[in-house]
């Protein structure tokens, strides 16, 4: 990503801890991004609607409207990437954050450099397939169009977040092939991503819920215990 491309990318930082906001802001500006900040969840939703940022870095424990509610409202109006910040290490908080559409999470205290790497890795992900590649995948009654970024199940559209869609395409592009968590992370986030690999399990869980795919008898996404996941064979 070039400097000019970064400058065209807006990042919104939402946190009520002023020193942390300024630290993250300095790192983002140093990396060439355009940065907006607020400590208010309601204001963050308005800023997303008006400014259309590429990434929102969102604290879970905001006063007033918390990060979960803010993320839910942001996801209703934007497909921007959302990185949730949380000071609470319990797994339930991480799952709550991801269940409302967050793409990733970072637990406080964190390294600003790590956060930058997460943001950069997300923004490097291709948004459309390039010429010559297969772009449409059929898994039974599930239709996945990677070029149009559309999913239809039995003719009805399925609303997925960017990350959910990218995970589904990674699986659908190799039907019947078992992909480990590491392989899926490499396909979706890139080889230089680092963090909790079980984030894949959370996104798989949300995909299954949206596809009506029960884990004990799945039609589309199968768990291969101890290894990873595979998409159902093309019919």
- pLDDT, one tens digit per residue, over 110-136 is 899 889 988 888 887 654 444 446 688
Q: How many CA atoms lie within 13 A of 10 on its CB side?
A: 12
Q: What pairing do the DSSP bridges indicate for beta strands 150-153 and 142-145?
A: antiparallel
81-113 confidence digits (pLDDT tens): 999 998 876 666 777 777 888 888 888 888 998
Beta bridge partners of residue 156, listed in sequence order: 153
**pLDDT on residue 234:** 43
Domains and CATH numbers, the chain: 3-123 (3.40.50.2300), 136-231 (1.10.10.10)
How many CB atoms within 10 Å of residue 117?
17
Q: How far is CA 110 from CA 14, 34, 87, 106, in A?
A: 15, 21, 10, 7
CB 98 within 8 A of CB 206: yes
Question: Whole-structure pTM over 0.85, yes or no?
Answer: no
Q: How confident is the model at residue 148 (pLDDT cuts 50, 70, 90)?
A: confident
Residue 129 DSSP label: P
pLDDT reading at 181 higher than 70 = yes
pLDDT reading at 4 higher than 50 = no
- Mean pLDDT value across residues 192-220: 84
Strand (E) or helix (H) holding 49: helix 41-51
Q: Cis link prior to 4 (omega < 30° from 0)?
A: no
User: Per-residue b/e over 10-19, b at no fewer than 16 CB within 10 Å?
Assistant: bbbbbbeeee
**Mean pLDDT for the chain overall:** 86
**pLDDT on residue 167:** 94
Q: How confident is the model at residue 198 (pLDDT cuts 50, 70, 90)?
A: confident
Which three-class secondary structure state does DSSP give residue 81?
A: strand
Residue 142 DSSP label: E
């Amino acid at each position: 990503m070039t400097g000019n491309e970064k400058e065209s990318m807006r990042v919104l930082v939402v946190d009520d801890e002023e020193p942390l906001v300024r630290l993250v802001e300095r790192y983002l500006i140093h990396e060439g991004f355009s940065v907006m900040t607020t400590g208010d969840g309601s204001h963050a939703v308005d800023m997303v609607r008006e400014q259309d940022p590429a990434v929102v870095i969102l604290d879970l424990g905001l006063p007033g409207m918390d990060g979960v509610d803010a993320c839910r409202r942001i996801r209703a109006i934007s497909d921007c990437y959302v990185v949730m910040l949380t000071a609470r290490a319990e797994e339930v908080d991480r799952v709550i954050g991801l269940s409302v559409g967050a793409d990733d999470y970072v637990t406080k205290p964190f390294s600003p450099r790590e956060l930058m790497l997460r943001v950069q890795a997300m923004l490097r992900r291709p948004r459309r397939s390039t010429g010559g590649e297969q772009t449409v995948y059929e898994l039974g009654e599930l239709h996945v169009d990677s070029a149009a970024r559309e999913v239809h199940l039995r003719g009805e559209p399925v609303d997925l977040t960017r990350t959910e869609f990218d995970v589904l395409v990674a699986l659908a592009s190799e039907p019947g092939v078992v992909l480990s968590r590491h392989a899926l992370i490499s396909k979706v986030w890139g080889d230089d991503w680092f963090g909790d690999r079980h984030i894949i399990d959370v996104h798989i869980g949300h995909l299954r819920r949206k596809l009506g795919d029960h884990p004990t008898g799945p039609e589309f996404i199968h768990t291969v215990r101890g290894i990873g996941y595979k998409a159902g064979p093309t019919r």
